[in-house]
Amino acid sequence: MTRMLIIGPPGSGKGTQAERITADLGIVAISTGDIFRANVKGETPLGLEAKKYIDKGDFVPDSVTNNMVRARLAESDVADGFLLDGYPRTSPQVDELDDILASAGVELDIVVQLTADDEELVKRLLGRALETGRTDDTEEVIRHRLDLYREQTEVVVARYAERGILAKVDGLGEMDDVTARVMDAINKRKAA
């Protein structure tokens, strides 16, 4: 059983690696970004609210995100483990996740941080924007999101590092090589 987070700046390959890791470990992937995008596409009230923030490259408010994650982690398919992608992104969200997990009598096993150079991330995201037509991937918005990541999310990384459950993994290179590095980090943590 593995309960984990994957964290890293926008464009670092979190979504791709989350799919590969969950398939390998047989656990559920929970991506807040995918949930938000589905709601935006469906024009749900949550989607319309989230779109205002997403289009500017800002984070969706904690209250909306926390309620969504709490509900999702209460579902039965997470009993064998899960991988959270895109949450928590702020220190208050770490506190909320701690509360959610404590109420279930569990805790995180590992936090994998994918690292990558900013210029490579901008290049990747601009390429993705061309391929997918994503309106939230302009260079200005991408750089804003990278700034937000450093300002807010790196505090999250520091908190998990203090707990001794953080594994930094180089997110650059071939997908298979990155996956191998991630799985190696997970296996080392399980063996510890």
Q: Enumerate the known binding-site residues for ATP.
A: 11-16, 128, 173
Give the residue numbers of the binding site.
11-16, 32, 37, 58-60, 86-89, 93, 128, 134, 145, 173
Is there a contact between 114 and 179 (Cβ–Cβ < 8 Å)?
Answer: no
Residues 183, 36: Cα–Cα separation, whole Å: 27
Residues 54, 185: Cα–Cα separation, whole Å: 31
Classified as helix, coil or strand, 107 is coil
Residues 162, 67: Cα–Cα separation, whole Å: 26
| Active site residues per annotation | 14, 89, 128, 134, 145
Peptide bond preceding 9 in cis form (omega within 30 of 0): no
Give the residue numbers of the binding site for AMP.
32, 37, 58-60, 86-89, 93, 134, 145
Residue 107 phi, psi dihedral angles, 5° rounding: -145, 170
